[in-house]
């Protein structure tokens, strides 16, 4: 029987949705139009909202005039030429934009449209991405939101990026979203927060759900006052992986599930269980709207509205190795990609067979030029096998081992293991050096970035360094009959610290003046509770990742099983 919850919710059933489904939304908005004697309605949309369904909603409100925001954007060709340098020709990497949505709109066109609106007798609806820039002082503003994972699924089904020329490569679509359109859309969403009257969850087309601004704010405030889980998602990979499919009872129609995001607020979502519906929001909304309550003042001061910790799964059980790769050094990611910090990480071995392994660091006295000459040959000739045994350390791993992987370390997860990856958030900056000669799921060779890789491999991280610094110290911090607390994993070069708690009864968690991300890595289930009843007790099952906001300091764990439970905890040093 499965216990892993694929659709966890935050229960706020004392609150209700204003409308559920298109019919109710139309009726509710018509009521608001009458009540406010509204003349102008703004439908601001996040890129990726279903245009056909939105057009249906607009039509059913029977407006006198309908204006789509795109008639006020600058010419597409001009915008795309301007973006070419930031987006680059690379399939994966671009430069993080610092632009605003209004940079891509024509001020004179907006002025003309606003004059049209003033001259119209009757209801005017302005809709689309950037509609709020076009509609002057609307009487009602509705924001249509959607989760990042849903957008990515729509990309794969043919959805194109905002203002982009037609594109079939899903990697390039994701790149444009990640480096450009999601950034400017998130900024505008935040700017509109105080003037938005209603929010519509547009993630599931079969049941759009609308809530008012007061409910939208209140449910988020309640989220940061208790532990919560994000909505995980699972995806197929070129290397395979069958463990998650079996343990979490994932759908059989997908051949494998090689990775899962169960702790990435920028990608995952939150579901609120209302009285009459479920309401889903991108988890990044919570980070941007309530950063000090979620992250804590200290972490907020360091990272701003970025959630700095990330948990995800990499499953190679019954599959192949991960790609041989390296992450950029901090000065490189700042100069080349406009990011503030880099992807230092660690591999926590959640489960492993006897032959499980990790590739970590270069062998002593490795000639870096020779190494990359060999990688270059392998990248150009699919029949040429790179001799990893000559250049890369290869170590056996066991369940509950923990390895630190600072930026600049060549690494690769081996077969027959399940890795809980605990890392800093900039997750797409992986320079693949070799992928064992295989193709991606799209039938194309997976992108290899040897030029980037050569500039980022740290010669210090050889076998001697790895053994001395990157194997988990498992330092015992406290021990008694009921609980053992150990420091594990991440080395001094990384800003994340981890603790492993093994316990049979009840323990109280030390929060370390930081938001905490945790995962139950051993045991059937645990119960999270507060001594003073700050939140209703929450059950966490094996394999589930959860977040404890800084605003929620008083949290204890109770082991529900007969055998000891083990929780891995990550926080900012």
Q: Is the dihedral of CA 319, 323, 324, 329 positive or negative?
A: negative
Inform me whether the pLDDT recorded for 223 exceeds 80. yes
- If you average pLDDT over residues 222-230, what whole number do you get? 97
Q: How does pLDDT run across 452-472, given as a tens digit for each residue?
A: 999 999 999 999 999 999 998
Q: How does pLDDT run across 134-179, given as a tens digit for each residue?
A: 998 999 999 999 999 999 999 999 999 999 999 999 999 999 999 9
Contact at 8 Å (CB) between 398 and 416? no
Give the pLDDT confidence score for residue 2 in this predicted structure. Answer: 62
Could you give the CA distance from residue 455 to residue 405 in angstroms, rounded to a whole number?
17
Give the pLDDT confidence score for residue 1 in this predicted structure. Answer: 53
User: Edge-to-edge, what's the strand order for the sheet holding 475-479?
Assistant: 475-479, 483-488, 496-503, 565-572, 516-522, 545-548
Angle at Cα 266 formed by Cα 524 and Cα 191, nearest 5°? 135
Q: How does pLDDT run across 254-311, given as a tens digit for each residue?
A: 999 999 999 999 999 999 999 999 999 999 999 999 999 999 999 999 999 999 999 9
- If you average pLDDT over residues 35-64, what whole number do you get? 97
The model's confidence at residue 555, banded by pLDDT at 50, 70 and 90, is very high
Q: Which domains does the chain have, with CATH numbers?
A: 9-224 (3.40.50), 233-470 (2.60.120.10), 475-572 (2.60.120.10)
Q: What is the mean pLDDT of the chain?
A: 96
Contact at 8 Å (CB) between 47 and 161? yes
Give the pLDDT confidence score for residue 63 in this predicted structure. Answer: 97
% of the chain residues with pLDDT over 70 = 100
HSE of 14 in the Cβ direction (CA atoms, 13 Å)?
A: 3
User: Closest Cα to residue 452, out of 356, 540, 342, 544?
Assistant: 342
Give the pLDDT confidence score for residue 525 in this predicted structure. Answer: 96
Residue 147 makes CB contacts below 8 A (sequence gap 6+) with 203, 231, 268, 269, 280, 281, 282
């Amino acid at each position: 029987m499965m216990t892993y919850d694929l659709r966890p919710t935050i229960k706020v059933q004392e609150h209700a949705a204003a409308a559920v489904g298109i019919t109710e939304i139309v009726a509710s908005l018509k009521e608001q139009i009458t009540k406010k004697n509204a003349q102008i309605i703004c439908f601001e949309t996040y890129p990726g909202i279903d245009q056909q369904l939105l057009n249906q909603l607009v039509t059913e409100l029977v407006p006198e005039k309908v204006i789509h925001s795109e008639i006020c954007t600058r010419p597409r060709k001009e915008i795309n030429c301007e973006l070419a340098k930031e987006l680059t020709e690379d399939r994966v990497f671009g430069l993080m934009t610092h632009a605003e949505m209004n940079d891509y709109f024509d001020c004179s066109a907006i002025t003309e449209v606003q004059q049209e609106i003033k001259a119209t007798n009757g209801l005017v609806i302005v809709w689309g991405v950037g509609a709020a820039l076009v509609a002057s002082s609307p009487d009602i503003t509705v924001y249509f939101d959607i989760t990042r994972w849903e957008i990515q699924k729509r990309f794969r089904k043919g959805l194109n990026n905002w203002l982009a020329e037609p594109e079939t490569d899903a990697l390039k679509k994701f790149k444009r979203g990640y480096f450009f359109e999601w950034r400017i859309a998130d900024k505008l969403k935040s700017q509109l927060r105080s003037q938005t009257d209603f929010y519509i969850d547009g993630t599931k087309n079969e049941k759009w759900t609308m809530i008012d601004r007061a409910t939208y704010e209140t449910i988020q405030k309640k989220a940061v006052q208790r532990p919560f889980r994000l909505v995980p998602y699972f995806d197929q990979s070129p290397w395979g992986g069958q463990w998650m499919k079996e343990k979490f009872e994932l759908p059989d129609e997908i051949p494998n599930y090689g990775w899962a995001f169960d702790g990435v607020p920028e990608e995952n979502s939150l579901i609120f269980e209302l009285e009459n519906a479920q309401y889903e929001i991108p988890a990044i909304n919570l980070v941007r709207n309530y950063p000090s309550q979620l992250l804590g003042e200290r972490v907020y001061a360091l990272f701003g509205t970025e959630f700095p910790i990330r948990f995800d799964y990499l499953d190679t059980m019954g599959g192949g190795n991960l790609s041989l790769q390296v992450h950029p050094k901090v000065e490189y990611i700042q100069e080349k990609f406009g990011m503030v910090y880099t992807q230092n990480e660690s591999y926590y071995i959640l489960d492993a067979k006897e032959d499980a392994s990790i590739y970590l660091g270069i062998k002593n006295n490795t000639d870096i030029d020779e190494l990359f000459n060999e990688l270059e040959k392998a990248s150009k000739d699919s029949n040429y096998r790179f001799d990893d045994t000559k250049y890369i350390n290869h170590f056996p791993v066991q369940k509950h081992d923990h390895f630190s992987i600072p930026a600049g370390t060549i690494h690769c997860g081996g077969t027959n293991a399940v890795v809980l990856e605990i890392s800093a958030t900039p997750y797409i900056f992986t320079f693949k050096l070799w992928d064992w000669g295989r193709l991606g799921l799209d039938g194309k060779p997976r992108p290899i970035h040897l030029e980037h890789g050569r500039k980022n491999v740290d010669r210090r991280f050889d076998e001697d360094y790895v053994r001395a610094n990157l194997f988990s110290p498992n330092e015992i911090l406290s021990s008694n009959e009921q609980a053992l607390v150990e420091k594990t994993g991440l080395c001094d070069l990384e800003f994340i610290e981890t603790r492993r708690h093994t316990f049979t009864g009840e323990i109280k968690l030390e929060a370390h003046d930081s938001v905490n991300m945790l995962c139950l890595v051993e045991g059937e289930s645990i119960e999270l509770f507060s001594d003073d009843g700050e939140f209703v007790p929450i059950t966490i099952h094996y394999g589930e990742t959860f977040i404890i906001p800084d605003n929620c300091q008083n949290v204890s764990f109770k082991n529900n099983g007969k055998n000891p439970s083990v929780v891995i905890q990550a926080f900012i040093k």
